[in-house]
Homo-oligomer: A and B are copies of this chain.
Amino acid sequence: MDDQVTIKDIAKQLNLSLSTVSRALRNAPDVNPETRHAVLELAEALSYTPSRLALSLKQRQTRTIGVIVPNLDNVLSTMIRGIDEAALESGYTVMVCQSNESYGRELANTKRLLESLVDGILVSVSSETKIFDHLQEILKRKLPMVQFDRSSSELKAPIVRVDNVSGGFQATEHLIQQGYRRIAILAGPKNLGIGKKRMKGYFEAHKVAKRKVDNDLIMYCDFSQESGYWATLDLLGMKKRPDAIFAISDRIAIGAMLAIREKGLQMPHDIGLLGFNNEPTVQLVTPAVSSVEMPSFELGKLACKLLIEKMQRHGVIPDDHEEILKTRLFVRPSSLRDSSTTLAPQRS
């Protein structure tokens, strides 16, 4: 196909041995300055590029990190930016595989990464994934792995995530403080850890405020806007409808907003609304929607750094290591009923 320039070509033209050229190229100490100069010059002239393939095969490491994500939404894109940055800083290349929320694709991707001999893997588990065999296989091969954002306790690998319990607590506490009394939660898919944790915070906040939770106000749904919409219509159709809704993602919250609008209810007066992720969109709708922000960029960066540490200093990071980042609540008009409360600082 393409005639790659190799060390051989340089050696031949300069009447040197392969080893000498190799050494010159890598600035080894024991090589004649003139020789080195000649080699470097010719390499430049031929626009020689070392073959990472050969190098990797030889050294049995690729300096590549595989990333498995369920999609490329706003939050994950930001995390990947963080991952990218950390990887670049340490001279690693990142290979992103996106499973489109499908178990089958995640399986295929994992296989690919395993074959490609990546040096380590960052994974955020697809919401659809219930079987972890393929990821267990990674561990079985002793390939360093770190979970980020969405994680599973079935996998014995370090986790970097936000404190979802605390995030759910912040959200619910705020709603309670605003005088809302029947706070519903749109909790996402029933089996998803992230949802369970945010819901735990929701319960804790109620407990601290000495309030009971009405179990009818707990609604499971998909992660889609559609699903948030339908779940909310259900909620609003109840005889004793909720006076506030905490959605565990902004996407779901937007769906809820559409349903609320359709029913002609006013936010924040008739009903309060609060989401999670603080995506740009929630600032633009009317009224702007309150949301819990997670430090996505930092989270990605940290996860990657942790993985690199794990890769380079084998065994230093225990498998049950958890790195937990704080969330931050952004209060906006959708949940601000009590005018005596001041708005939290907003992003520009």
Contact = CB atoms under 8 A, between A and B. Distances in A.
Interface of A: 1-2, 4, 47, 49-54, 56-57, 60-62, 72-73, 77, 80-81, 84, 88, 93-98, 100, 105, 108, 111-112, 114-117, 119, 137, 140-143, 225-226, 254, 257-258, 280-281, 284-286, 314, 348
Nearest to A47: B137
Contacts of A117: 4, 51-53
A16 to B, nearest CB: 23
A64 to B, nearest CB: 8
A142 B81 contact: no
A299 to B, nearest CB: 16
Contacts of A116: 52-53, 93
A77 B50 CA distance: 31
A295 B88 CA distance: 32
A53 B113 CA distance: 11
A95 B92 CA distance: 13
A80 B84 contact: no
Please give the count of copies of this chain that the complex contains.
Answer: 2
29 contacts: A1-B61, A1-B142, A2-B143, A4-B117, A4-B141, A47-B141, A49-B115, A50-B115, A52-B116, A53-B53, A53-B62, A72-B77, A72-B81, A77-B77, A81-B98, A81-B100, A84-B98, A84-B100, A88-B105, A88-B108, A93-B116, A94-B97, A95-B95, A225-B280, A254-B284, A257-B284, A285-B285, A285-B286, A286-B286
Contacts of A50: 115
A313 to B, nearest CB: 12
A61 B314 CA distance: 32
Contacts of A94: 97
Contacts of A348: 226
Max count, chain B CB within 10 A of own CB: residue among A53, A73, A285 = A53
Given A61-B1, A281-B284, A115 B77 contact: no
A155 B194 CA distance: 46
A280 B73 CA distance: 12
A296 to B, nearest CB: 12
Q: A-B pairs with the 8 shortest C-beta distances?
A: A72-B77, A52-B115, A286-B286, A281-B281, A53-B57, A2-B142, A96-B96, A52-B116
Given A52-B115, A77-B77, A281-B281, 20 more contacts: A1-B60, A2-B141, A47-B137, A49-B111, A49-B114, A49-B115, A52-B116, A57-B57, A72-B72, A72-B81, A73-B77, A80-B98, A84-B98, A94-B97, A95-B95, A95-B96, A226-B348, A254-B284, A257-B284, A285-B286
